[in-house]
Amino acid sequence: MPRNRPDVAREEKIDDIVRVAARALREGGYEALSLSGVAQELGLARGAIYWYFASKDDLLVAAAKRIFDEALSSPPSLGQYAKRIEWAMEQLAMLGQVTSALRDRSHHSEAVASFETAFHRRLCDGLRNVLRPNVPAARLDDVADSVVVFVQGLLSMGLAPAVRRDRLKFLLRQLVPRVS
Amino acid sequence: MPRNRPDVAREEKIDDIVRVAARALREGGYEALSLSGVAQELGLARGAIYWYFASKDDLLVAAAKRIFDEALSSPPSLGQYAKRIEWAMEQLAMLGQVTSALRDRSHHSEAVASFETAFHRRLCDGLRNVLRPNVPAARLDDVADSVVVFVQGLLSMGLAPAVRRDRLKFLLRQLVPRVS
DNA sequence: ACCTGAACACCGTTCAAGT
DNA sequence: ACCTGAACACCGTTCAAGT
């Protein structure tokens, strides 16, 4: 059996690592994301990962990116704006361990910090588009930013889904005036 | 030199451990809070800590409790309600590493999770008292809960202090009607 | 009751050596 | 270019043995 695999494309090998890492991260958080575990599952030595990722935090970023992309890839195309926001919130709520790992590591890794910032910007941009038909242009930026902050808060508090949804509805009633 | 110190009160020894642990946690987050480090700084063996704390997460809770109590112990007695909320937010903003450590570990430890819940409740209670004179009774609970969620979101996003304050002001304008 | 010292089973990271 | 295997310097946790 060959020790290395020069025949397999580099992207494919990276993809294997990220896939295994993403599952560990999603299911067990930062604690469960271990280079030893990932390597073992792929039949590699621990050190092999470092040929593709400079550190555990870099692998964390790659895994989180994949998880979020997958979770937000198929939004409901129709429906009220409130339902779409709720959908995104619930998708993210299932990934609490991922979010909190990013939050914690962003204090130690520049790569994690900048990924987190980029992700927040992405959420704000998406939300602006969803809210545009329902919010006066002058208020759009403020309202979108506020809703993202609020959702982030809801997610960071580990609330029950029903409570989460009620709080979100309350805030949307306050910020998005009924068009009449 | 004596190996153990039966003369020193148990509370005092616990206090030493928590004090050292709190400083490590505040300055370097969960990563820097190591039982080895704490023990070494106190001239103890690693295992000695386990006589007082059942696990690292239990020590985390004790350290976080002390840090938050200290940070919120002397609020400005006077001033606008908005200023008091802003003060509390800024106090907590300086403790981002503590908050994110609690958030991450709450998925793995029941003790951490219930401490986090209790802390959120404490914030909501305090906020209700601050807002009571300015918010109709029927809206008080919803508004207080929303503001806590919002502040939690602001803190979890690692924003610049100025941005943070602006967002908070915007939300308070939306939720707390001018009494006229 | 309290503490040590060693042991256990892990980590992330580095690197000489191999293919 | 890619991967191994060993080494390094750590972890948290347990526990027999001491005081």
pLDDT tens digits, A93-113: 999 999 999 999 999 999 999
Torsion of CA B7, B63, B36, B103, to 10 degrees: 160
Predicted confidence (pLDDT) at residue B1 exceeds the cutoff of 80: no
State chain A's mean pLDDT as an integer. Answer: 95
B/e letters for A66-101, b = 16+ CB within 10 Å, e = fewer, are: bbbeebbeeeeeeeebbebbbebbebbbebbbbbbb
Mean pLDDT for the stretch of residues A49-76: 97
- In this complex, which of A96, A101, A150 lies closest to B149 when CB atoms are compared? A150
**Across the interface, which of B117, B145, B157 has its CB nearest the CB of A167?**
B145
Cβ atoms of A96 and A124 closer than 8 Å? no
Spacing of A34 CA from C8 C1' in Å: 19
What is the reported pLDDT for B180?
A: 46
| Whole-number Å distance between alpha carbons of B158 and A113 | 9
B11 Cα to chain A: minimum distance (Å): 31
Closest CA to B103 of B152, B144, B145, B62: B152
Summarised one tens digit per residue, pLDDT across range B71-118 is: 999 999 888 999 999 999 999 999 999 999 999 999 999 999 999 999
Write down the pLDDT at residue A77: 84
Task: Write out pLDDT tens, residues A5-21.
Answer: 888 999 999 999 999 99
In chain B, residues with a C-beta closer than 8 Å to the C-beta of A136 are: none
Eight-class DSSP state of A9:
-
- Residue–nucleotide distance: B2 CA to D19 C1' (Å): 8
Closest residue on chain B to A151 (Cα): B153
Residue ranges and CATH numbers for the domains of chain B are 1-65 (1.10.10.60), 72-180 (no CATH)
Helices and strands, number each (H, E), in chain B: 8, 0
Residues 35-94 of A with CB under 7 A from strand C: 35-37, 46-47, 50, 54-57
SS (H, E, C) A66-126: HHHHHHCCCCCCCCCHHHHHHHHHHHHHCCHHHHHHHHHHCCCCHHHHHHHHHHHHHHHHH
Q: Do the Cβ atoms of A41 and A20 come closer than 8 Å?
A: yes
Chain A residue closest in CA terms to B27: A107
